[in-house]
Amino acid sequence: MTATALPVPELAVRRKSFFSQLGKKDNPLRIAVIILYITVVVLGATTSSIGMPTLRENPAEPLGLQLGDASPIRSDEYNAFSPIVLSIMATGAAPTTSVLAAPADLTHRYSSGGFFETFVFFDSSLLYTASFLPDAMVFAAHWWLPALLLFLFLPTWFEQVGSSRRWGWMAAFLIALSPAASWWTMMPIQLIAYTIAGSSLVLSAYRRFTANQRVVPVMQSLAAGILIAGLPSFYIPWSLVLGLPILVASVAWILAHQGQWKPKLLALGCAGFTAMLFAAGMLWENRQGINALLQTVYPGSRRSTGTAQSLALLFGAPGLAPMQDMLPVGINQSELSTAFTITFVWALLLVLNLNWVGQLRENVAIIVIGCFGLLWLLWCTVNFGERGSSIPLLNYVQPARAAQVCGILGSILVCLLLARLPSRKVAWKLPLIAAGTCTLVTAYAVSSLQLSYLPEMARSSIAAAAFAVGLCVFCATKFASRVWPIVLIAGLAAIPVFSANPLLFGLGDLRSSETAKYLSVEGKRAAETNGVWASDFGAFDTVMLANGVPSLSGLQRSGPDTDQWKKLDPGTGHANEWNRGGGFIHFQWTAGEPLTFEAPVPDTTVVRIDPCDLKLRWPSLHAISSSQSLDAGCLIPERTLTWSGKEFFVYKFR
């Protein structure tokens, strides 16, 4: 068969059609996001702080490339979240958290082999590809996946609920660049991205059911249900604040939309049934960890009530840029960081000045997001007293935690409202009023921030933050039909956080160092014989976990496995010290001294024990690591290792 060349006019038409399609809506941006994701994955680039000096073999000669300094305050990330991910990659199964701990699948979104959780925690299931892909690439793919879903699905969700895609992009930038997202290592993004993706798929399935399609919308509904089923996992307080409003707004939009009920029932029924089935199955598979967590001394089943938070905490996010170079007083960077809550002030002014009412169905997403936003704002601005601790769902959320992320709802709300501005030129009154008000509120909040937490902040920083907010509000309101205000806002929003985290290429010393390589081999040997290790140094526990070494010391995130702890404390007389979750188990070697337990801080248990006594209580103890030389009859010196710039002694048993 002979190939026939296309006539020049026809070829030109096809080329024109291709480029017209490429430029349709925001396709170039979406393609750029995907290309950027692939690029960082191939490079193994993340903003993880696992390059901390304590997690280096020799801090003076770190392996790999890291731009910027690791963030010491993100200890949960570099001592728990990321090592758990690396541990799953090393073992091809559940991570090697402490054998004294109950399973932590629910709190860290990983599967221990359960059918339902394997699907619901699909992001962690993808880590098994490390068996044939480079670890750094798999780690980066997992790291950036929530951000990828946020930028791909939030603009789509905006369009699906009757708004504009470009305002969905602005909302995504405000979320991703918020100080809360940066100083909490993208936790808020992870807690909202999967629900946004699931909600968008439900809305898409509804559209397709309306068009009498069947196979594709059924598949979309199933995928949506699995994504939504993960809502009650990871950090549930923030899941309630961030994920639930998006889900409710999506369901309400479908129910309120004019049209036949059959497509609505099909979309919501398929997705809802799948979500309930997989959520129930996931919770059942994790009942041991849930029960352990609820029965702990800390955090236990604690309940909170609404209390007023300071204006500095609520509206100070635009002024947090100096925190990249100085430590706050009386609080740490993570606790002080918030999202852009000033967007609620902006949204209120838009509501008061916009001449729109319309039908309920046209405004249902705005109403739902606005009501949830108002609810959480009240929770962190009004003292509810003791009765507040009895309000279901709300009482699971500490008001300070609500204050940190409710600005994400404000960002979504204000972008939904900005899409309602007329496409023609907006009069000067509204932009000036909105910009002036937001400028004053920001100036006061950042001034309070300086007085309370950042005394070294320059006054010029206060003025700059207030001016930047006013400029963004004015430009986006006045020139709502243009794209450049969104670019301006994204650029200015990056200023408070651009150097908050490092840019790390690879996995630092947690894979390539001699210590890591040795522990990887020993971890496999110990696992084959059901043996365990123990260490007396937290950073050494981290490198053991990252390389899949079964261990007594290390992480206890969901609470204790009581039966295992009874081997150390048969009468459970010291349960108050070890019945804790969300934290760490540390050992200290005290040769010839009696066993003692201590909880120096709420999330840490310290066990002081003679290593020979530990071997008697735990016969499968394979080896220990010690930060100092030990002299005990049961120990055989194996070798020394270097970690955190220190020498560690490895002992096995006679």
Average pLDDT over residues 87-111: 96
Task: Give the model's pLDDT for residue 318.
Answer: 96
> Which residue in 525, 416, 551 sits closest to 480, CA to CA?
416
Instruction: Supply the pLDDT for residue 582.
Output: 87
pLDDT band at 150 (very low <50, low <70, confident <90, very high): very high
State the Cα–Cα distance between residues 602 and 271, nearest whole angstrom. Answer: 40
Residue 9 burial (C-beta neighbours within 10 Å; 0-12, 13-18, 19+):
exposed
Q: What would the pLDDT profile of 611-645 be if each residue is shown by its tens digit?
A: 999 999 999 999 999 999 999 999 999 999 999 99
81-90, 349-358, 418-427, 582-591: range with lowest mean pLDDT: 349-358
**605: enclosing H helix or E strand:** strand 604-609
* Rounded distance between C-alpha atoms, residue 265 and residue 256, angstroms: 12
pLDDT in tens, 291-346: 999 999 988 767 899 999 999 999 999 999 999 999 999 999 999 999 999 999 99
Amino acid identity of residue 580, one-letter, is R
Q: Over the stretch 203-258, which tens digit does the pLDDT of each residue have? A: 999 999 999 999 999 999 999 999 999 999 999 999 999 999 999 999 999 999 98
Q: pLDDT over 70 for what percent of the chain?
A: 96
Asked if 383 contacts 308 with a C-beta cutoff of 8 angstroms, the reply is yes
Strand order in the sheet with 554-556: 554-556, 583-589, 604-609, 596-598
Classify 67 as helix, strand or coil.
strand
Return the ∠ at Cα 144 (arms to 404 and 104), rounded to 5°. Answer: 70
Query: Residues in the chain, how many?
Result: 654
How far is residue 41 from each of residues 45, 88, 145, measured CA to CA in Å? 6, 18, 10
Helix (H) or strand (E) holding 167: helix 165-176
pLDDT in tens, 364-380: 999 999 999 999 999 99
pTM: 0.93
643 versus 496: which is more confidently predicted? 643
Query: Omega before 328 cis (within 30°)?
Result: no
Confidence grade of residue 358 (pLDDT, cut at 50, 70, 90): low
Residues 508 and 61 sit within 8 Å (Cβ to Cβ): no
- Which pLDDT score, from 0 to 100, does residue 356 have? 64
In this predicted structure, what is the pLDDT of residue 357? 60
Distance CA 579, CA 163 (A): 49
Q: Using the 8-state DSSP alphabet, how is residue 6 labeled?
A: P
Instruction: Average the pLDDT over 64-75 and give the result.
Output: 94
The CA-to-CA distance between both ends of the chain, in Å, stands at 78
pLDDT (tens digit per residue) in 3-45: 444 454 454 444 444 444 444 578 999 999 999 999 999 999 9
Query: pLDDT digits over 254-270, tens only?
Result: 999 989 999 999 999 99
The pLDDT assigned to 94 comes to 94
| Mean pLDDT for all residues in the chain | 93
pLDDT for 3: 42
Q: Are 337 and 343 in contact (CB under 8 A)?
A: no
Q: Quick check: 598 and 577 in contact, CB under 8 A?
A: yes
Closest CA relative to residue 75, chosen from 603, 516, 549:
603
Taking the C-alpha atoms of residue 595 and residue 589, their distance in angstroms, rounded to an integer, is: 10
CA–CA distance, 105 with 627 (Å, rounded to integer): 31
Q: How many CB atoms lie within 10 A of CB 511?
A: 23
Q: How do beta strands 532-535 and 621-626 pair?
A: parallel
Beta-strand runs (E) in 164-240: none
Distances (CA, A) of 548 to 33, 91, 436, 519, 648: 33, 6, 56, 8, 19
- DSSP letters, 10-58, are HHHHHHHHHHHHHTSTTHHHHHHHHHHHHHHHHHTEE---TT-GGGSSS
| Confidence class for position 424, pLDDT limits 50, 70, 90 | confident
pLDDT band, residue 437 (cuts 50/70/90): very high
Q: What is the dihedral of CA 444, 449, 450, 451, to 10 degrees?
A: 90
CA distances from 220 to 148, 215, 259, 272, 633 (A): 18, 9, 20, 12, 63
With contact defined as beta carbons under 8 Å apart, do 111 and 128 qualify? no
Query: pLDDT by residue (tens digit) across 544-573?
Result: 999 999 999 999 999 999 999 999 999 999
Average pLDDT over residues 161-178: 96
pLDDT at residue number 547: 97
Cβ pair 309, 436 in contact under 8 A: no
User: What whole-number distance in Å separates Cα of residue 542 and Cα of residue 535?
Assistant: 10
